[in-house]
Amino acid sequence: MGIYFNPGNSGFQRIVNSEYVDKTGLIFQINRSIGTMNNLTCISRPRRFGKSYAAQMLCAYYDCSCDSRSLFDDREIAKTEGYLDHLNQYHVINLDITGFISAAASMDIPLFQVPNLITDTISRELAEGYPELSGKNLTDALVDCVEKTGKKFVFVIDEWDALIREAKGDTALQRKYLNLLRGWFKNGNFTSKAVAAAYMTGILPIKKDGSQSAISDFREVTILDPGRFVKFTGFTADEVKGLCEKYGMPFEEAQKWYDGYDFPGTGAIYNPYSLMCAMENRKFGSYWKKTTAAESLMTYINMDFEGMQEITARLIAGEDVEVRTDGFENDFETFKSRDDVLTLLIHLGYLTWNEEGTARIPNEEVRTEFEKILEGTGVSRKWMELINRSRRLLEDTLAGKADEVAGAIEAVRATQYAPVFYNNEQALRYVVKFAYIAAIDQYLKVEELPSGKGIADIVYLPRRKSLLPALIVELKWDKSSEGAIRQIRDRNYPAVLRDYGGEIVMAGINYNPKTKAHTCEIERISGR
């Protein structure tokens, strides 16, 4: 038993000794592929979504050098057909590519030599177990090992794309690494003789070679369409409810902070890493910053492809934006359009995507990362103008300057930020949310908040320890701003803010489609 060749089950043993949510059903999906033409699987998903846990689980299940029945007999996989047929029946090659990159750095080995380091390391461990295979070409040695033992190999490759990400712009190294993988998984003779299955996981799908995948024999499962692997992508709502009940934490807060993706037939999929941090710490909040490899959003925002900064502002304001994902080349340096940047942010977990072709910020945790942009340095002059204009609007609203507020909404309406068709209350809602984008720095925005005898359109709640008043915004289309204020009072919308206790600013905003003008009415009341 080695580190890379037949690593045993100790890694998964440590996982199940901790708080473990059963995801062993993933094994059945891989078992189904063994002995078929679809036995090569590449699953990409964002950071902190349990990729390494899945890799350790697969190693423990397939590795013939250990007995893992006690780890799996009471799990979901034990109830499936073929459970014992594949349990501990294969040689395993387990590779964490980030580990090889770190090892190369510690030994002052050039990054270009990492593919050689991978093959040399596997060859050395294989020869330690089977000395007669020493000195042979790795692929020949693996085939001979299968012939000698009667057991094929299962390849488990974690962070497969780390070298592609690390070698940005180094096409020679990328080609060398991809050729190594092609030698294992696009060599029909070797694959059929030696490979029972392969499972690769990383952030990015397999890099494209032209318009096609560089290793085309893999079945690719991405965060854009996880298919039958969807419930193994993260935690389901039922799993989160169970954890919240066990730890005495409110499910609604977990939903607000960590609900990241939503898929037809499965529903919400939650971020496992942050959810477990919240449970263990008994505290909801952002745990993104605790991941050392978090990408800098500012890098991508400041590329400003086709108004990327304005698109970011729309996202922060709570809007969905259209994204075409099919042109992305699955790397960190080939950006031809805004769509490519947005697609990368989807794969990184900063945005969630739906089948209608739109993306949005998924939850409060990720929203805090975007909010840091407002506090950062190095943003463009156009971006700062947008933020400063929004801050003035907020100040005028809190000061009761209704005419100035109406004028500011008019100004936003006249920009490229407004919907193409400004013809209903939803369009007005969009413009108003965008206009108040700077409020997210000091407020929590809640849309359609049930209160009193109705539902308030937009409520801005001051963040903890703030001395600012709460803000209720009621919207009207082709009616009157006075009527909006009257509705706030008549339906007692401020009732929901009773516990808040501070002052409340009520703003009624109306758009008259005949005069093409906005009007505003503002009142301030005590929340006590």
**Residue 75: which CATH number?**
3.40.50
Among 40-49, 146-155, 354-363, the range of highest mean pLDDT? 146-155
Verify that 476 and 353 share a domain, yes or no. Answer: no
Give the model's pLDDT for residue 452.
60
Confidence check: pLDDT of 64 > 50: yes
Neighbours of 469 (CB within 10 A): 21
Contacts for 243-251: CB closer than 8 Å, 24+ residues apart: 243/19, 243/21, 243/275, 243/276, 243/279, 244/279, 246/279, 247/279, 247/282, 248/282, 249/278, 249/279, 249/282, 249/284
pLDDT (tens digit per residue) in 290-316:
544 345 566 666 665 667 777 887 788
pLDDT-wise least confident of 105-114, 230-239, 248-257, 496-505: 496-505
Verify that 282 and 355 share a domain, yes or no. Answer: no
Q: Which residue has the tokens 């409520």?
A: 459
At 133, list the tokens: 């295979």
How far apart, in Å, do the first and last CA atoms of the chain sit?
69
Count of domains forming the chain: 4
Q: List Cβ neighbours of 270 (8 Å cut-off, separation of 6 or more).
A: 234, 235, 236, 237, 239, 240, 254, 258, 259, 260
Instruction: Give 302: exposed, middle or buried? Use CB within 10 Å, 0-12, 13-18, 19+.
Output: middle
Neighbours of 332 (CB within 10 A): 20
Q: List Cβ neighbours of 122 (8 Å cut-off, separation of 6 or more).
A: 4, 5, 93, 95, 138
Domain boundaries, position 370:
297-375
Q: Which residue has the tokens 């109830």?
A: 79
What are the phi and psi torsion angles at 434 (to 5°)? -65, -40
Average pLDDT across the chain, whole number: 86
Give the model's pLDDT for residue 189.
83
What is the three-class DSSP state of 271?
A: coil
- Among the residues of 355-440, which ranges form H helices? 364-375, 381-398, 402-413, 425-435
Confidence check: pLDDT of 479 > 70: yes
Query: In this prediction, what percent of the chain has a pLDDT beyond 90?
Result: 45
Q: Which amino acid is at 175?
A: R
Mean pLDDT of 390-396: 89
Mean pLDDT of 416-437: 73
> Could you tell me which of 283, 278, 276, 311 has the C-alpha nearest to residue 297?
311
Verify that 248 and 345 share a domain, yes or no. Answer: no
Residue 464 lies in a domain: yes
Verify that 429 and 455 share a domain, yes or no. Answer: yes
Confidence at 348, pLDDT banded by 50, 70, 90: confident
Give the model's pLDDT for residue 381.
63
Mean pLDDT of 238-248: 96
Verify that 31 and 145 share a domain, yes or no. Answer: yes
Domain stops at, among 207, 230, 253: 230
Give the model's pLDDT for residue 296.
56
For residues 500 and 470, what is the distance between their CA atoms, to the nearest angstrom? 8
pLDDT (tens digit per residue) in 68-102:
999 999 999 999 999 999 999 999 999 999 999 99
Confidence check: pLDDT of 121 > 90: yes
Give the model's pLDDT for residue 289.
65
Of 280 and 468, which is predicted with more confidence?
A: 280
Domain stops at, among 375, 390, 413: 375
pLDDT (tens digit per residue) in 398-414:
999 999 999 988 888 77
Confidence check: pLDDT of 209 > 70: no
Mean pLDDT of 415-425: 65
Domain stops at, among 244, 263, 290: 290
Q: List Cβ neighbours of 3 (8 Å cut-off, separation of 6 or more).
A: 94, 125
Confidence check: pLDDT of 378 > 60: no
Verify that 238 and 223 share a domain, yes or no. Answer: no
Q: Which residue has the tokens 């007995």?
A: 67
Q: Which amino acid is at 382?
A: K
pLDDT (tens digit per residue) in 16-51:
998 899 999 999 999 999 999 999 999 998 888 888
At 180, list the tokens: 């190594």
pLDDT (tens digit per residue) in 187-206:
778 889 999 999 999 988 88
* pTM score, whole prediction: 0.80
